[in-house]
Amino acid sequence: MTITDAGEDCATARYQPPFDRPGRFYRGHLHTHSTRSDGALPPEAVVETYQQQGYDFLALTDHFLDSFGFPITDTRALRSSDFTMQLGAELHAPRTELGMPWHIIAVGLPLDFAPPAADETGPALASRAAASGAFVGLAHPAWYTLTPNDARSVAAADAIEVYNAGTAQWNDRGDAWYLCDLLLASGAAAFACQRGYFSSLRKQGVALLAALETLFNGQPLYPSFA
Ligand SMILES: [Zn+2]
Ligand SMILES: [Zn+2]
């Protein structure tokens, strides 16, 4: 391929976003909070808001902290024939390489997922969530300066949240493509989730998507995670 060809390929790709391709696309959100933790709206109102915006699926991932009673917000009753909910939470444990508490999204948790033990690390907690069947994502890495060593230590991670609108508003650190780039540069695989972009997913994530695809008549599914 010549340089000119490569440039043309880039230009062509730029003007052919995936959502312009044939097929039915479903819109979802896998990192959201309600008043069960620090969110602004009760679960029912959060769901109604997303439905009004044309979403097809949603996971409420309230903070799984003692101060909130370790909530796994039960939203099963809010499922309908054209909108589905996945049970999840944002998990926290001490400590990242720079001494911050972990922020780990887990979607597909059982309602009886046990609170973390005092000595349970973030990677161990992520592994336990994955073992329970959950899709695991590293939330807003730039917001709390997650390092490549941190990311590599979470063997159970299915994805990296590469854009988070909330942290973009709070401290202008919504973008986390840097972490994908650093992981790829070191030879590790990186899996990205972003609102509006499709994701590459490993085993548990694929299982989650397969379940959602079944709900939506086997059509291709491109989740949002921001
Ligand atoms: Zn969050
Ligand atoms: Zn967080």
* Whole-prediction pTM: 0.80
CATH topology of domain 25-215: TIM Barrel (3.20.20)
From the CA of 159, how far away is ligand 1's center (Å)? 15
Helix (H) or strand (E) holding 171: helix 165-171
Reported confidence tier of residue 176, pLDDT bands at 50, 70, 90? confident
In the DSSP assignment, the letter for residue 140 is: -
Could you tell me which residue, 57 or 208, shows the higher pLDDT?
57
From the CA of 18, how far away is ligand 2's center (Å)? 28
Q: Determine the straight-line distance between the first and last CA of the chain, rounded to whole angstroms.
A: 36
User: CB count, 10 Å around CB of 89?
Assistant: 28
Helix (H) or strand (E) holding 84: strand 84-91
Cα(141)–Cα(104) distance, integer angstroms: 10
Ligand that comes closest to the CA of residue 31? 1
Ligand that comes closest to the CA of residue 34? 1
pLDDT tens, residue by residue, 20-56: 777 777 788 889 999 999 999 999 999 999 999 888 8
Place of tokens 């942290």: 167
User: Which of 194, 167, 165, 191 shows the shortest CA–CA distance to 180?
Assistant: 191
From the CA of 117, how far away is ligand 2's center (Å)? 19
pLDDT tens, residue by residue, 118-151: 999 999 999 999 999 998 999 999 999 999 999 9
Give the pLDDT of residue 133. 92
From the CA of 100, how far away is ligand 2's center (Å)? 11
Average pLDDT, the chain: 80
From the CA of 139, how far away is ligand 1's center (Å)? 7
Ligand that comes closest to the CA of residue 33? 1
From the CA of 107, how far away is ligand 2's center (Å)? 14
Could you tell me which residue, 226 or 8, shows the higher pLDDT?
8
Give residues with Cβ within 8 angstroms of 118, minimum separation 6: none
Whether the per-residue pLDDT at 160 is higher than 80: the answer is yes
From the CA of 31, how far away is ligand 1's center (Å)? 6
Residue ranges per structural domain of the chain: 25-215
From the CA of 174, how far away is ligand 2's center (Å)? 12
Least confidently predicted of 16-20, 49-53, 167-171: 16-20
Whether the per-residue pLDDT at 206 is higher than 50: the answer is no
Ligand that comes closest to the CA of residue 166? 1
From the CA of 90, how far away is ligand 2's center (Å)? 7
Ligand that comes closest to the CA of residue 103? 2
| Token code pair at residue 103 | 């922020």
Whether the per-residue pLDDT at 185 is higher than 60: the answer is yes
CB distance 119 to 74 below 8 Å = no
